[in-house]
A and B are shown apart, each in its own frame.
Chain A
Amino acid sequence: MITLNGIRNGLWCAVAFGIVACASTPMPVEKLAIAKTSLERAEQAQAAQFAQIELNSARNKYAAAQAAVDKKDAEVAARLADQADVDAQLAESTARAKQQEQLVNEMDAGLRDLRNETLRSSPGAAPQVPQPATTPPQP
């Protein structure tokens, strides 16, 4: 696996840098690609609106990882790419959870209205305001 990755990265390096000699440690291209995908997923999940801090952290780390690649610092680039990936995943899941939570709240409000509506339209039914749980015990 490592050797296979190494060969592939090596080949990629050769293609990318042409005559320039490869760095001793291969650049974490795959990790960067994964982080980029996660970032895109987070953006699609409206993380910019619902998980801004997490998304910003992911973007910054991704940018830093790219900068590390430019500086040929593969080790730092790999770490930053991994961190950008989990930050983006956290941004995405947080955004999704918040949106779903919002849906639940809207649904609850809708159900409350619906209950009141149906109670109002049926005469002799229970009053609109639900009875408090602390009703005195019947003799």
Chain B
Amino acid sequence: MRPIKATWTVIAAAALLGIAGCETAPETSGVLEEARSAVNAAENDPNVTKYAPTELDRARKLLTNAEGAAKEKGAKDKTAAHYAYLATQMARISQQRAQEQVATARVKSGETERQKILLEARSNEANQALAAAQQARSEALSAKAQVEQTEAEKQRLAAELENMQASQTSRGIVLTLDDVLFDTGKAQLKSGADRSIEQIAAFLKENPDRRVQVEGFTDSQGSDDFNLELSQSRADAVAMAIIRRGIDAERVRALGYGEGYPVASNANAGSRQLNRRVEIIVSNENAEIPGRASAGQP
């Protein structure tokens, strides 16, 4: 490697010396012109005046030397050509140094930019986390509000149930539907009962642990068999109406007691009407509805 390189260097040197031998031949004015335009280009580059003023100054001085030598010794002078060459190279150096400085400044500002982006990204993440936390909180609040609303609705329904001719007994809440809701001798429930049925169904939906027992009664008119069947049919009709509103059939029981358990004497029309009735007993929470005491049987 070394001997080859050395040989090559010697050859190159010889070649250069050969050129140097006829150095006087080329026009200096061309080299001088090149130097002028190189220095001019550097002068017009604002980055050079900003970042490489020393090099530019050196290039100017070298150009002045070249111009002086050319003036003194003619356009073909070796010294003039030499200084012109140095001026050209120095002008190029000034531009390269300026370019390097510009690039360095850009790298620096790029680093600042990178930090800024990272910072923004981090604050974005923080904002997102904050927003998520706020949303979670508001969701929790609305869930709580919903629970409270459901609770209020339950209480409202319970209160409504109490208001409907209902009374709290040891067996549960007892609601009485009177006979005007049925035609005489028929088990077809009339539309007048809809509101009461609706409310009971709503209450049962809100309170899934409660059950309901529908009991039918007649007055003492007519045969016992007929009355028993009629009371059962009427209780069934009411139970069906409740079930049709979306309550599980297992939670609804229908019983017919015929003319048993009268609430009045059956001695006159007014008291007989009181006995013709359907009672809906809503269980207490999680409790079975106790049967009627056999002592009450006539």
Contact = CB atoms under 8 A, between A and B. Distances in A.
A89 B110 contact: no
Contacts of A87: 89
B89 A96 contact: no
A101 B16 contact: no
A108 interface: yes
Contact of B96 (A79, A96, A104): A96
B9 to A, nearest CB: 4
Interface in B59-89: 78, 82, 85-86, 89
B16 A90 contact: no
A121 B17 contact: no
Contact of B103 (A89, A90, A104): A104
**Majority secondary structure of chain B interface residues (helix, strand, loop or mixed):** helix
B97 interface: yes
Contact of A97 (B78, B100, B106, B125): B100
Contacts of A34: none
Interface string B277-297: 000000000000000000000
Interface in B5-48: 9-10, 12-14, 16-17, 20
A62 to B, nearest CB: 9
A104 B106 contact: yes
Interface residues of B, number: 35
A136 B15 CA distance: 66
A23 interface: no
Contacts of A94: 92, 96
A89 B88 CA distance: 12
A63 B9 contact: yes
A80 B20 CA distance: 9
Contacts of A111: 110, 113-114, 117
B107 A104 contact: yes
A121 to B, nearest CB: 7
B20 A110 contact: no
21 contacts: A59-B12, A60-B12, A67-B10, A80-B16, A82-B82, A82-B86, A83-B82, A86-B90, A90-B96, A93-B97, A93-B100, A96-B97, A97-B99, A100-B99, A100-B100, A100-B107, A101-B99, A110-B114, A111-B110, A122-B124, A125-B124
Interface of A: 59-61, 63-64, 66-68, 71, 76, 79-80, 82-83, 86-87, 89-90, 93-94, 96-97, 100-101, 103-104, 107-108, 110-111, 114-115, 118, 121-123, 125
Top 4 A-B pairs ranked by shortest CB distance?
A100-B103, A93-B96, A86-B89, A118-B121
